[in-house]
Amino acid sequence: MLEARWVTKHYRQGTNIVAAVDRVSIAVREGEIALIIGPSGSGKSTLLSMLGCILQPTSGAVLVAGYDVSGVPERVLPRIRQRCFGFVFQSFHLFPFLTARENVETAMRLQKVPREARRKTAIDLLSDCGLGQRMDFYPASLSGGEKQRVAIARALAADPFILLADEPTASLDSANGEAVLEMLRHLALARGKAVVLASHDPRARHFADSVYNLADGRLNRLR
């Protein structure tokens, strides 16, 4: 579903060129959760950005559903992102002036899904995420774990193939963190999503099918 072949990203830092990600290969199937662990500065965000077609690699290839996106023009990338990816971030990124349901519905507007269908999908997704009773709450009235579950529902709203989650439990206490990981696992399996999870959270290992360590831009499979 998602594959990186020998991807490298170089950044210029002053007069130096640094390899933030160095010849990394990874493949993630549908229904699989791949966990990437690694200290701050090891290249996790850079790798996730390349996997998610936000950043073009300096060299190497990224394949989305078998389609090589490395050579496509910049202007095509937003459409690939919208069609193929859902993104979840540490800090939720919810719209504060929209309810949980409206936050999820908004994600379907770009796809021009009709109003009634948007509403139904949002209600189904939020119920699946255990938020059936909280749909009409604004983010400010939700706990951190609930906000992150809304963000996951929103990321899934346009029915992407792939979910990329960058430290989704870093702002949560342990019970909420676990509920979010459980949710990701359940949704990946039930809906056949490929999930790439970057996390420091040691509990995340229990929820992952494959585990990789990223150190100084080099990726090693641990499990």
Task: Write out the binding residues for ligand ADP, residues 15-34 only, by CB under 6 A.
Answer: 18, 20
Number of residues that bind ligand ADP (CB under 6 A): 12
Q: Is 199 in the site for ligand ADP (CB under 6 A)?
A: no
Taking CB under 6 A as the criterion, the residue among 7, 24, 34, 46 binding ligand ADP is 46
Residue range at the interface with ligand ADP (CB under 6 A); choices 11-19, 81-89, 113-121, 168-176: 11-19
Q: Is 200 in the site for ligand ADP (CB under 6 A)?
A: no
Edge to edge, the sheet with strand 16-28 lists: 16-28, 2-13, 59-64, 67-68
Pairing between β-strand 67-68 and β-strand 59-64 as defined by DSSP bridges: antiparallel
Q: Is 42 in the site for ligand ADP (CB under 6 A)?
A: yes
Q: Is 97 exposed, middle or buried, given 0-12, 13-18 or 19+ CB atoms closer than 10 A? A: exposed
Task: Write out the binding residues for ligand ADP, residues 143-162 only, by CB under 6 A.
Answer: none
The tokens of 191 are what? 């809906």
Residue closer to ligand ADP (CB basis): 10 or 83: 10
Q: Is 43 in the site for ligand ADP (CB under 6 A)?
A: yes
Taking CB under 6 A as the criterion, the residue among 4, 38, 57, 208 binding ligand ADP is 38
Residue closer to ligand ADP (CB basis): 42 or 176: 42
Read off the amino acid at residue 102.
E
Q: Is 44 in the site for ligand ADP (CB under 6 A)?
A: yes
Q: List interacting residues with ligand ADP (CB under 6 A).
A: 11, 13, 18, 20, 38, 40-46
